[in-house]
Chains A and B, each alone.
Chain A
Amino acid sequence: MTNLLNTLLVIVLMLNLFALGTSRIVSVIRTVAAQGALLSLLPLVLHDHLTLAAALTVVPAFALKGVIIPGMMIHALRDVKIKREVEPLIGLQPSVILGALATVFALLFADQLPLIEAHSDALLVPASIATVLTGFILLITRFKALTQVVGYLVLENGIFIFGMLLVEAMPLVVEMGVLLDLFVGIFVICIIVNQINQAFASMDTRRLVSLKE
């Protein structure tokens, strides 16, 4: 099982780099949708025997991360004129390199944390930290409101990977609560993105500079 799991996680890490290296907003959203869909399947390959709780998280997680949230974001993108992240804070290639460095750092850092026997072969911890860091890179270096939301989603995906270590510890209710919060959060954010777009005729967050000292 660990082989299959690690293969999936390597694909997730490659999707991180892909999200960092593409400028079309719609491609970034699709990349993250693919990543989310892939991650929601992790509980199925994680354990030899499938628990009911794990199986029950798969369906809503797949629907939300893979279909509904990306769908809402593509919908929000429809009315927007600018379809590309034109001038990120740092260029696309440097940010891919930064992402790769973050992955290396995550591998080294994860080595410092003691794991229990059952998890020692899996790449879950480094993959989780690398994905969280990728989310941060997207949040900090991109200026379009929707790309920043994508960054937040990638960050959440990283946390979701870590959650796989704790399927038993996190009861179903809490898991559902987390997903619900994520969903409502993105929903509210999409409304605000729309409002930014209407009020400023752009969704460039660099226009949001009237509030300062």
Chain B
Amino acid sequence: MAFAMIFLPILMAALSAAIPSNRLRPWLLPVTGVAHLALTLVTLARPELTTSAAWLVLDPLGKLILLVVSLLFFFCSFYAVGYLHNREERPNRVFCACLMAFLGIMSLVTWAHHLGLMWVAIEGTTLVTAPLIYFNHTQRSIEATWKYLLVGSVGIALALLGTFFLAYASLHTGLEATLTLEGILEHAPKLSKPWLHAAFVLLLVGYGTKMGLAPMHSWKPDAYGEAPGVVGAMLAGGVTSCAFLALLRIYQICQVAGEGAYVSRLLLFMGLLSMAVASLFMVGQRDFKRMLAYSSVEHMGILALGLGIGAPALFGTLLHVVTNGLTKGVLFLSAGNIHRAYGSKSTEQVFGAMRRLPLSGTLFLVGFLAITGSPPFGPFISEFSILNGAFDAGRFATGGLFLFLLLVVFIGMGATVLKVVQGRASVEARNTPYRDSFLTGAPIVGLALLVLLVGLYIPAPLTALIRDAVLFLEGQP
């Protein structure tokens, strides 16, 4: 099953490169999206399909991330058709091919049970997304792509060094050096501590760069700001979740090795720092796409924080991966529509989006309410559960700071979002050709409904999956 999920999108990418028509080519995206989602659901339902090779095993953590990526791609693929029809002046061959290859490589990340292979795949996501960010070919997008590539590559290079350190820690036990997850977990209690500590720091910095944890987040506002909305959605919900999966693997190894306290201190620090930095930059932010990027930094901080709190917050943290991924889809896709209609992403020109684009404007507002943790949406449940976990674990200061920073973000983000949606749009903005259409509207509605559903009632299979994942993460089979 792994091979089907990894190679189907890559084959479709090759096929799309061969299709000459700029208008027909994007339709391969939804075909791939539907097929991939079907494969994902079949695999989730049938446990006997979850081992494809020694290094390709889909464990509960991988299942969860795969589900997020596949769902998000499903909705984004329909949106992308609508988006690319509005952008017929630009050739989309590279864009379509890279977007589908991106899905294949992300599937590989979720299946990989060899830390070296996982590294190769995560570095691969950096490379295929660079042309996506560069889609508009403007000076600003060159700048964003350059920063993304350089910062991302350096970060991921450090993760490689960390992976090597980890392998050396296992070599030092006197056993055969290994990088398979099973092999390392088996010998984890015997791993050499100095090497393990050094490895964890390097891996946290490396994969933290891909996630966009502060202070390694500098590429994020530029890349998310300049990339098309659909790319922003896939980056903020897909790549970051994959990098977080890598961090979960390392976390699991350190837990089994008995280094939980060391790891959790670092994670709590990085988590709170990311939330604080993001909230500072969100207050008074005029560019609403950069604001979404800082929101992504904030939510990566929440994930690191939840992981740092440990066992009582793990359910909430893993649920937050799902709710954050889906809500980021709503926000980036609706922000993309607003950007298209106004030709600007600054609140100096963009106001009155509710009247100019009733559907996208409303969805943008809904996305904002959801991501800041307002009931009755999904992120409310997951953030509340993390907060509960913090208090259960006796970390009252951490819980208090978490609440305070959420409040700052709510106020800062709210000011920008309300400027965008309220008022009357200017005459120039009302005369641009863009109107909400079925293809650029319906996928966002679908994502928003899912976010609402998780907030009202978490489906039983999802609860079961997350419980399995928590048990797996804590080292119980």
B-contacting residues of A (Cβ < 8 Å)?
A: 112-116, 132, 139, 145, 148, 152, 155-156, 158-159, 162-163, 165-166, 168-171, 173-174, 177-178, 180-181, 184-185, 188-189, 192, 195-196, 199-200, 205, 208-211, 213
Contact = CB atoms under 8 A, between A and B. Distances in A.
B415 interface: no
Contacts of B198: 113
Given A152-B150, A185-B149, A210-B140, A166 B130 contact: no
Nearest to A165: B168
Mostly, the B contact residues are: helix
Given A168-B176, A168-B177, A184-B127, A211 B140 contact: yes
A113 to B, nearest CB: 5
Interface in B170-211: 170-172, 174, 176-179, 192, 194-195, 198
A163 B164 CA distance: 7
A114 B127 contact: no
B114 interface: yes
B167 A208 contact: no
Contact of A181 (B123, B131, B170, B281): B123
Mostly, the A contact residues are: helix
A166 to B, nearest CB: 5
Contacts of B168: 162, 165-166
Interface residues of B, number: 49
Contact of B134 (A132, A168, A192, A211): A192
A34 B351 CA distance: 57
Given A152-B154, A178-B120, A188-B131, A166 B164 contact: yes
Q: Which of A132, A155, A169, A171 has the most CB of B within 10 A?
A: A169
Nearest to A193: B146
Contacts of A205: 146
A200 B125 CA distance: 27
Contacts of A158: 161
Given A145-B146, A169-B170, 4 more contacts: A116-B172, A163-B164, A169-B178, A211-B144
B431 interface: no
B120 A174 contact: yes
A211 B143 contact: yes
Interface string B224-250: 011000000000000000000000000
Nearest to A176: B120
A170 B161 contact: no
Interface in B32-80: none
Interface of B: 114, 116-117, 119-120, 123-124, 126-127, 130-131, 134, 137, 139-140, 142-147, 149-150, 153-154, 157, 160-161, 164-165, 167-168, 170-172, 174, 176-179, 192, 194-195, 198, 221-222, 225-226, 281
Contact of A169 (B123, B177, B195): B177
B171 A185 contact: no
Contacts of A178: 116, 119-120, 160
Contact of B192 (A114, A189, A213): A114
Nearest to B167: A169
Contacts of A192: 130, 134, 142, 145-146, 149
Contacts of A196: 142, 146
A159 B157 contact: yes
A188 B143 contact: no
The 8 closest A-B pairs by CB, nearest first: A169-B177, A177-B120, A174-B116, A208-B143, A211-B222, A181-B123, A169-B167, A162-B164
B143 A166 contact: no
Given A114-B195, A165-B168, A181-B123, A174 B117 contact: yes
Nearest to B143: A208
Contacts of B131: 188
Contacts of A156: 157
